[in-house]
Copies of this chain bind each other. A is one copy, B any other.
């Protein structure tokens, strides 16, 4: 059985079934240190029916299928570790239905978040989930992505109302509805969100939208000590301040951003803040936040209301990961991603910094501290096992600290290849339940095999 010919027959369009080496290479990797592995073929479906036919064929012949969005995952999710089909969803990128009066939109999975926001602007609306990269919305749902807006709006699981999903054998189902709440049976929408393509392929999403806030004030507060910054963040969150965003960036990262973007931020631990809403309440909250940072030892406070200066400030934060990579050309990127209860955050950050120093590594600490979620970003030479092992050791220490304090091994990047063993530590017997669900929905283990759980490994 020649799968490539069969797929070409199925789609009746040779151009959308590719074995071009450059295309295979492009679908062999994500943004990180995880070992690339090429698929046997890359397929570009254009409709749900085509996805269904492809999965039927793959199921029949037990061929792995790995959904691929923009390839921006950070734990190896899109790497076809057992070959097979890389299912590139980029041509399914249409807006299906926009209902501004209902604050919702239906989109195909290949549309990226920035493409969507471009279309929403003229309606005064936006989609708030903002991982660093311009990821595809299908990929964001598959990994339960979040980002800097999560402290106000939550992550994908909070913003997806329904899905169309194709199951392993080709069956097409719909979950959720266009109502903002529902108690109708098992919450299948949430079962597929965060399932990383291992339970089904998302072919349509119904998303909640939000009004673009009237007033926005950006601020930053500079601290001598990262513990103080974490403490200030925890206090602001605990006080119920209506913060839109609160990001902690450490001195190392500020230095990297300054070099990469030719900016001149003070190179010390810094909280980047954003307050948004109606003008009166925003100004009230900015003043309260300023007080709280000062009270926790901040030595500088800046506010920005002008949209260009705000954008520059936040663009820098969004570019932080790229800035770190730019410091170490040719090296591989690795990012830890734990989430802990808010009150534990300052101690967790101090512990992470001490582990980095103990291992004599260069690494940045940055993160979405409003949720207790933070990252340590490393670069290492893939041909230098000692560097790699040190980074892995810091990762392990950071994860173990989080798990010992009621946290989770991943706040927003997902399990993929990199966190399988930590998922087992975190959940023990609940992983057997996950494996049983996987077995039920994908009995031949064709859907993104080797990710999340060890079943069929």
- Interface residues of chain A, those whose CB is within 8 Å of chain B, are 99, 101-104, 143-146, 150, 154-155, 157-158, 167, 171-175, 177-188, 190-191, 193-195, 199, 210-211, 234, 238-240, 242, 277-278, 280-281, 284-285, 337-344, 371-373, 402, 406-415, 419, 422-423, 426-431, 433-434, 436-437, 439-441, 452-453
Contact = CB atoms under 8 A, between A and B. Distances in A.
Contact of A278 (B180, B186, B284, B419): B284
A157 to B, nearest CB: 7
17 contacts: A101-B234, A102-B342, A102-B344, A146-B181, A146-B183, A150-B181, A155-B181, A178-B341, A179-B338, A179-B339, A180-B339, A180-B371, A185-B415, A186-B194, A186-B195, A188-B433, A437-B440
A32 to B, nearest CB: 15
Given A188-B430, A195-B186, A238 B101 contact: yes
A407 B179 CA distance: 5
Contacts of A407: 177-179
B284 A181 contact: no
Nearest to A150: B181
Contacts of A145: 183
A221 B400 CA distance: 55
Given A181-B146, A452-B185, A167 B423 contact: no
A401 to B, nearest CB: 12
Contacts of A434: 185-186, 188
Contacts of A422: 184
Contact of A174 (B278, B419, B430): B430
A410 B179 CA distance: 10
3 shortest interchain CB distances as A-B pairs = A281-B281, A178-B406, A190-B190
A356 B450 CA distance: 55
A154 to B, nearest CB: 7
Nearest to A156: B183
Given A278-B284, A280-B284, A429-B172, A373 B181 contact: yes
Contacts of A199: 186
B341 A102 contact: yes
Contacts of A195: 186
A39 to B, nearest CB: 24
